Amino acid sequence: MPASGCGPSQRPRFLDAGESALVVEFGRIVEPALHDRVLALDAAVTKARIDGVIETVPTYRSLMVHYDPRQLGREELARKVQLLLARTTSVTIAPARRNVPACFQLPYAEDLTEVAQRLHVDEAHIVERFTQAGYRLYMYGFLPGFAYLGRLPHELEIPRRETPRSPTAIGAVQIAGEQVVITGVAMTTGWYMIGRTPLRVFDLERETPFLFDVGDEIVFEPIDAATFERFS
Amino acid sequence: MSGRLRVLSAGPGETIQDAGRYGYLRYGVVASGPMDWIAYEILNRALENPRDAAAIEISRAGIAVACEAAPLVVAFGGGGFIWERSGARLSTAGIVRLEPGEHLRARAGSSWGNWTYLAIAGGIDVPRVLGSRSTYARFAIGGIEGRALRAGDALAACASDAQPQTGALLTPLLERPKGSIRVVLGPQDDYFTDEARATFFTQAYTISTRFDRMGYWLEGPRITHSGGFDIVSDGIPLGAIQVPGAGQPLVLMADHQATGGYPKLGTVARADIGAFAQHRPGENVRFEACTVDAARRALLDVYASLERPLSRASDEALASSNLIGGVISATD
């Protein structure tokens, strides 16, 4: 196993993902301070508008910089990123806080009873603990608008299902492992759907198709089923 | 009145693709775009289209289209497919002017190639979704209603003043790929044993029947991880060679997800990704390690070749059995 658990204090590593993408790896673990550094560099690279940089992809632990090798060589890009890194070491970007109304009652909390049984706690306690915490949007992936949030309070951690459940609805609030996701589309899933938001996290008709950005802090506000229906 | 292409029949994998959807990977939206970007780009250049003009990507299932309402100038080629105009065989790549009522049909050649392309002068006019016309069928965006083409679809072209010369297109870039596929090591090559890396670059791998626009699975000697095979997710580029726990590599293609949680041994060089994509299930592929610099130079060489004017044979040659025999025997 290679060195793991590199903390945020360590120097980031520059790794090549072909001749058209450079990975700036801050570590190999999930850790808010490490993700802060990803976000700071992401903002700095975006702001710098380096010729030849196509787009950046922030993840839990790294920033992938996609570039056009016709305009920009690897070494030149690495030099520019290194300069930006030096300037952003102590920068922390304050997260935007997003309040997300969500209903944790039937018919929207499809798997809440099952989660309560598996964790041996009552449903009200799950909702209370779940909505007390704030969740960082660490990254998108898997499908468009599929946002990975973390981290779930320890006592709510539940292993992923061995076999996927039937498709969940758009806006399903789901948990598994230490993660929380809000889905932008209906999909079969190995996660547990404990609630649903009436917000459309992804809507092509909207000027900003994606409601949230990587780095946002999501706080769920419980609403009852009647309120949910008024929203929709 | 402007001309349009009517789809007469289409297999399940025929989609509208442009140069790709950029800027939304951070929201999990894949880039899509053509599987063989070089073939796609040759056609757009030949038609003097914008570099990102939308074209039809055609899988081995083939397609048949008819020209309606007014003449259309179209370019076709890639993957050594067999093309026919109203029953008469054409070269494997070329530009033709279709008159209303004429048909154009593509089917896979007998020995190689998964993807061919059909471009219209001006480019196919479908709405842009998140800045691109590319179809991402899994998420139902782009193209026509986010889906693959089907019989009955009508495709109009954007305006074009270009008067491209018709005839066969002759370029080595459209010939059957030879030799090994270049791979830049990383970003997680240190998750594999030395022996595993050596195996990957010395043994042949076979393209599995599990292949689509998202990725191609490879069958061959197992690639052993030196430790765990779960990593905390990070970004995925086009051509990433991801190795899940069972040790069989998966090469991520045009519709690959933006991020993922398996170690990536290397990345197929952009210059070779189209050639790789044209390998059929059951075909063997060999990989060769190269540096970032070498991969970049290879890519710049491809662009230099694309900049050179294409050699074109005349219309007579396009329809002549001699030339067709010559062109096809080299590739088919």
The pLDDT assigned to B314 comes to: 67
On chain B, the residues whose CB falls within 8 A of the CB of A17 are 184, 186-187, 235-237, 240, 264, 267
**B213 has a pLDDT exceeding 60:** yes
Q: Which of B21, B22, B25 to mutate to test the interface with A (most CBs of A within 10 A)?
A: B25
Clarify whether residues A143 and A224 are in a common domain.
yes
Clarify whether residues B163 and B287 are in a common domain.
no
- With 0-12 / 13-18 / 19 or more C-beta atoms within 10 angstroms meaning exposed / middle / buried, residue A120 is exposed
For the stretch B172-195, pLDDT in tens is 999 999 999 999 999 999 999 999
Q: Say which CATH number the domain at A154 has.
A: 2.40.100.10
- With bands split at pLDDT 50, 70 and 90, how would you rate the model's confidence at B240? very high
Are the beta carbons of B27 and A62 separated by less than 8 Å?
Answer: no
The pLDDT assigned to A9 comes to: 54
**B328 has a pLDDT exceeding 60:** no
Q: Say which CATH number the domain at A70 has.
A: 3.30.1360.40
Clarify whether residues B193 and B91 are in a common domain.
no
> What is the average per-residue pLDDT within B31-39?
98
- With bands split at pLDDT 50, 70 and 90, how would you rate the model's confidence at A7? very low
Clarify whether residues A17 and A102 are in a common domain.
no
Residue identified by tokens 């003449």 is B71
Using CB atoms, which residue from B23, B232, B270 is nearest to A28?
B232
**A45 has a pLDDT exceeding 80:** yes
Dist. CA B15–CA B117, nearest whole Å: 10
Residue B323 is assigned to a structural domain of this protein: yes
Residue B176 is assigned to a structural domain of this protein: no
Residue A50 is assigned to a structural domain of this protein: yes
The pLDDT assigned to A141 comes to: 87
Clarify whether residues B288 and B322 are in a common domain.
no
The pLDDT assigned to B319 comes to: 59
Clarify whether residues A19 and A84 are in a common domain.
yes
> What is the average per-residue pLDDT within A5-30?
85
Q: Which of these ranges, A128-132, A176-180, B31-35, B91-95, has the smallest mean pLDDT?
A: A176-180
Residue B106 is assigned to a structural domain of this protein: yes
Q: Say which CATH number the domain at B296 has.
A: 2.40.100.10
Clarify whether residues A32 and A141 are in a common domain.
no
Clarify whether residues B272 and B204 are in a common domain.
yes
Dist. CA A105–CA B285, nearest whole Å: 54
Contacts of B143 (CB under 8 A, 6+ apart): B15, B16, B17, B126, B133, B134, B135, B137, B149
The pLDDT assigned to B142 comes to: 97
Number of separate domains in chain B = 2
On chain A, the residues whose CB falls within 8 A of the CB of B137 are none
> What is the average per-residue pLDDT within B103-114?
96
Clarify whether residues A71 and A108 are in a common domain.
no
Q: Which of B32, B37, B128, B232 to mutate to test the interface with A (most CBs of A within 10 A)?
A: B232
Are the beta carbons of B234 and A25 separated by less than 8 Å?
Answer: yes
> What is the average per-residue pLDDT within A110-133?
96
The pLDDT assigned to B316 comes to: 56
On chain B, the residues whose CB falls within 8 A of the CB of A142 are 28, 257, 259
The pLDDT assigned to B182 comes to: 98
**B307 has a pLDDT exceeding 70:** yes
A63 to chain B: nearest residue by CA?
A: B235
> H or E stretch including A76?
helix A74-88
As a whole-number percent, the residues of chain A with pLDDT over 70 amount to 96
Clarify whether residues A56 and A143 are in a common domain.
no
For the stretch B82-91, pLDDT in tens is 999 999 999 9
- With bands split at pLDDT 50, 70 and 90, how would you rate the model's confidence at B260? confident
Residues A1, B228 contacting (CB under 8 angstroms):
yes
Concatenated DSSP letters of A82-141: HHHHHHHTT--PPPPEEEEEEE-STTT-TTHHHHHHHHTS-HHHHHHHHHHS-EEEEEE-
For the stretch B124-135, pLDDT in tens is 999 999 999 999
- With bands split at pLDDT 50, 70 and 90, how would you rate the model's confidence at B331? very low
> H or E stretch including A78?
helix A74-88
**A61 has a pLDDT exceeding 50:** yes
> What is the average per-residue pLDDT within A67-93?
93
Clarify whether residues A110 and A224 are in a common domain.
yes
> What is the average per-residue pLDDT within B288-304?
98
Dist. CA A67–CA A74, nearest whole Å: 9
The pLDDT assigned to A4 comes to: 44
- With bands split at pLDDT 50, 70 and 90, how would you rate the model's confidence at B323? very low
**B312 has a pLDDT exceeding 80:** no
Q: Which of these ranges, A67-71, A210-214, B247-251, B313-317, has the smallest mean pLDDT?
A: B313-317
Clarify whether residues A104 and A219 are in a common domain.
yes
Residue A8 is assigned to a structural domain of this protein: no
Q: A190: closest CA among A158, A156, A147? A: A158
The pLDDT assigned to B233 comes to: 87
Query: Which residues span the domain enclosing B249?
Result: 181-305
As a whole-number percent, the residues of chain A with pLDDT over 90 amount to 72
Residues A6, A18 contacting (CB under 8 angstroms):
no
Number of separate domains in chain A = 2
Clarify whether residues B199 and B142 are in a common domain.
no
E-strand ranges in chain A read 13-16, 21-25, 53-58, 62-67, 97-103, 135-140, 147-150, 165-168, 172-176, 179-182, 187-189, 192-196, 217-223
- Domain final residue, candidates A42, A64, A88: A88
Clarify whether residues A101 and A83 are in a common domain.
no
Clarify whether residues A117 and A17 are in a common domain.
no
Residue B33 is assigned to a structural domain of this protein: yes
Interface pTM, i.e. ipTM: 0.93
Residue B98 is assigned to a structural domain of this protein: yes
Residue identified by tokens 């945020």 is A8
Q: Which of these ranges, A12-16, A95-99, A179-183, B105-109, has the smallest mean pLDDT?
A: A179-183
Q: B229: closest CA among B248, B215, B216? A: B248
The pLDDT assigned to A160 comes to: 86
- Domain final residue, candidates A69, A88, A107: A88
Residues B263, A92 contacting (CB under 8 angstroms):
no
Q: What is the residue-averaged pLDDT of chain B?
A: 92
Helix residue spans in chain B (DSSP H) = 37-46, 194-202, 270-277, 292-307, 315-319, 321-329
Are the beta carbons of A70 and B226 separated by less than 8 Å?
Answer: no
Are the beta carbons of A18 and B190 separated by less than 8 Å?
Answer: no
Are the beta carbons of A62 and B234 separated by less than 8 Å?
Answer: yes
On chain A, the residues whose CB falls within 8 A of the CB of B141 are 144, 204
Residues B21, B130 contacting (CB under 8 angstroms):
yes
- Domain final residue, candidates A70, A88, A106: A88
As a whole-number percent, the residues of chain B with pLDDT over 70 amount to 94
Helix then strand then coil, in percent of chain B rounded to 5, is: 20, 30, 50
Clarify whether residues A104 and A41 are in a common domain.
no
Clarify whether residues B156 and B287 are in a common domain.
no
The pLDDT assigned to B317 comes to: 57
Q: Which of A1, A20, A77 to mutate to test the interface with B (most CBs of B within 10 A)?
A: A20
On chain A, the residues whose CB falls within 8 A of the CB of B129 are 204
Residue identified by tokens 């689509």 is B212
Q: What is the residue-averaged pLDDT of chain A?
A: 91
The pLDDT assigned to B168 comes to: 94
On chain A, the residues whose CB falls within 8 A of the CB of B236 are 17
Query: Which residues span the domain enclosing A174?
Result: 97-231
The pLDDT assigned to A185 comes to: 80
Residue A30 is assigned to a structural domain of this protein: yes
Residue A33 is assigned to a structural domain of this protein: yes
Clarify whether residues B76 and B101 are in a common domain.
yes
Contacts of A204 (CB under 8 A, 6+ apart): B129, B130, B141
Clarify whether residues B71 and B212 are in a common domain.
no
> What is the average per-residue pLDDT within B34-57?
97
Residue A1 is assigned to a structural domain of this protein: no
